[in-house]
Structure 1
Amino acid sequence: SPAEAAPIEPVLVIDHVETFIRATGAKIAYGGKQACYRPGPDDIQMPERGRFLSEVHLYSTIFHELGHWSGAKSRLDRDLSGRFGSETYAMEELIAELSAAFVCADLGIEHDPRDNTATYVENWLKVLKQDSRAVITAAAKAQAVADYLRQFSSSTGKGP
């Protein structure tokens, strides 16, 4: 009947993307209330897959968090200590978002269907407006993240 709720479409699993994510060795736990990288336990918390609008939304989010994960001292050693609103925090968010876009492009999938990525990036650029090279710096660091994540899936099959 029309009163019944439409079934929720399951989020698609894209095998080569899942393989890429697994190859990083990052610990990813599903079931949290929000997506976040936690430096202490060195893991990524994600809401259940079914809470995402689409596989594009899910993978864009995972790659954003893997961007943060890559910044740990034992990996690319970026400053992850910035508080919300600080320039350090803004730079890290910009790096994570750009690196997610780069990795999605590398894997041939769309990035972020929510249409707010531009607004999101613009907000962080405002915080960084004192630094005219902020975008160049962030893009270079984001490319380093994409390269770092890609090496786990290199033809040798070995991590770094």
Structure 2
Amino acid sequence: MGIAISWRNRQRSSSLISLAFRSTSYNLLLSSGARIVHRPADEAFYHPIRDLIQLPTKAQFHDEGRYYATALHELTHWTGHHARLQREGVMSACPFGSPGYAFEELIAEMGAAFLCAYAGIQGELRHEGYIDSWLSLLKADKRAIFRSSGHARSASEYVLNLKQQLKQAVLDDSLCMNDGA
């Protein structure tokens, strides 16, 4: 004996799930305090000197999940800035394809995967161009996967802690306003 679910309820459930991941993802970006600009362009990147994330417009993405997965990838790079977690791959200019560049991209991809999982975004690998450099890195350094996952965990925890701090600040402000009433 199963549970009958009407199509209307399924649509509403799907919409609620979509709203929940959108809200969670948006709040992660908002609470980070990262400077994010949107431009009609074909690439997303983090600029460490300007401490800025540049993303294509939301309309340029196939769906919101890909937009947020890309934004969280760049936000993971953002955590490596010298004012935050001070990761070597962000602070030094590593050329594309170099081991340092591959290592930072692996951190960003894993960090984004952790944050996407937290937000309920089911993603797919969208950075096929990095796979060869990751494989070279992992063949040359057997501990790279452990080191990069540790950095990715630190980055995702950093972002989640910022979200929690903002939530607590809003709660504290709310309590202060209620006490003064």
Query: What band does the TM-score fall into relative to the shorter chain?
Result: 0.7 to 0.9
Residues of 2 paired with 1:72 and 1:110: CA distance?
27
Contact kept? 2:77, 2:104, Cα under 8 Å: yes
Report Cα offsets for 1:14-47 as digits up to 9, x if no partner: 1222122100000000015210001111100111
- Name the structure 2 match of 1:55: 64
Does residue 1:125 correspond to 2:134, yes or no? yes
Does residue 1:15 correspond to 2:23, yes or no? yes
Does residue 1:146 correspond to 2:159, yes or no? no
Q: TM-score with structure 1 length normalisation?
A: 0.82
Q: Provide closer, same or farther for how the CA distance between residues 41 and 32 of structure 1 changes in structure 2, counting only shifts above 3 A.
A: farther
Runs ≥4 in structure 1, deviation > 4 angstroms? none
- Name the structure 2 match of 1:30: 38
- Name the structure 2 match of 1:46: 55
- What 5-or-longer segments of structure 2 have no aligned partner? 1-17, 171-181
Q: Provide closer, same or farther for how the CA distance between residues 136 and 66 of structure 1 changes in structure 2, counting only shifts above 3 A.
A: same
Q: Provide closer, same or farther for how the CA distance between residues 106 and 121 of structure 1 changes in structure 2, counting only shifts above 3 A.
A: farther
13-22 or 29-38, which deviates more: 13-22
Q: Identity, % of aligned pairs?
A: 34
SS of the residue corresponding to residue 15 of structure 1 reads helix
- Name the structure 2 match of 1:101: 113
- Name the structure 1 match of 2:102: 90
- What 5-or-longer segments of structure 1 have no aligned partner? 1-11
Structure with bigger helix share is: 2
For the pair shown, the structure with the greater C-alpha radius of gyration is 2
Residues of 2 paired with 1:125 and 1:134: CA distance?
9
* Deviation (angstroms), 1:127: 2.5
Contact kept? 2:107, 2:149, Cα under 8 Å: yes
